[in-house]
Amino acid sequence: MTLTHPAVPGSLSPALAARITSEGLDPAAVVALVAATLAEDLAGGVDVTSTATVPADQVSTADFVARADGVVAGLAVAEAVIEIVTGGTATVVRPFAEGDRVHRGDVLLTVSGRTRDLLTGERTALNLLCHLSGVATLTRRWVDVVGGAGAAVRDTRKTTPGLRALEKYAVRCGGGVNHRMALSDAALVKDNHVVAAGGVAAAFEAVRAMWPGLPVEVEVDSLDELSEALSAGADLVLLDNMSPATMREAVVMTAGRARLEASGGLTLDTARVVAETGVDFIAVGALTHSAPVLDIALDLRPQAGDS
CATH number at 196 reads 3.20.20.70
Do 228 and 96 fall within a single domain?
no
Do 78 and 110 fall within a single domain?
yes
Decide if 168 is catalytic.
no
The predicted structure's pLDDT at residue 91: 96
pLDDT at 284 exceeding the cut of 60: yes
Is 201 contained in some domain? yes
pLDDT at 291 exceeding the cut of 50: yes
Q: Within 13 A of 111's CA, how many CA atoms are on the CB side?
A: 31
Is 3 contained in some domain? no
pLDDT at 87 exceeding the cut of 70: yes
Which residue out of 157, 164, 180, 190 is catalytically annotated? 190
Q: What is the mean pLDDT of residues 225-239?
A: 94
Do 258 and 149 fall within a single domain?
yes
What is the domain count for the chain? 2
Q: What is the mean pLDDT of residues 252-261?
A: 97
Which residue out of 94, 157, 158, 259 is catalytically annotated? 158
User: Containing domain of residue 101, as a range?
Assistant: 14-135+292-300
Do 53 and 184 fall within a single domain?
no
- Structure confidence by residue, pLDDT tens digits, 130-164: 999 999 999 999 999 999 999 999 999 999 999 99
Q: What is the mean pLDDT of residues 45-62?
A: 94
Which residue out of 23, 26, 123, 295 is catalytically annotated? 123
Do 118 and 230 fall within a single domain?
no
Of residues 4 and 278, more confidently modeled = 278
Decide if 123 is catalytic.
yes
Compute φ and ψ for 78, nearest 5 degrees. Answer: -60, -40
The predicted structure's pLDDT at residue 11: 76
Q: What is the mean pLDDT of residues 239-249?
A: 97
Which residue out of 106, 122, 217, 219 is catalytically annotated? 219
Do 57 and 165 fall within a single domain?
no
Tell me, what DSSP letter sits at residue 97? -
Tell me, what DSSP letter sits at residue 177? B
The predicted structure's pLDDT at residue 3: 39
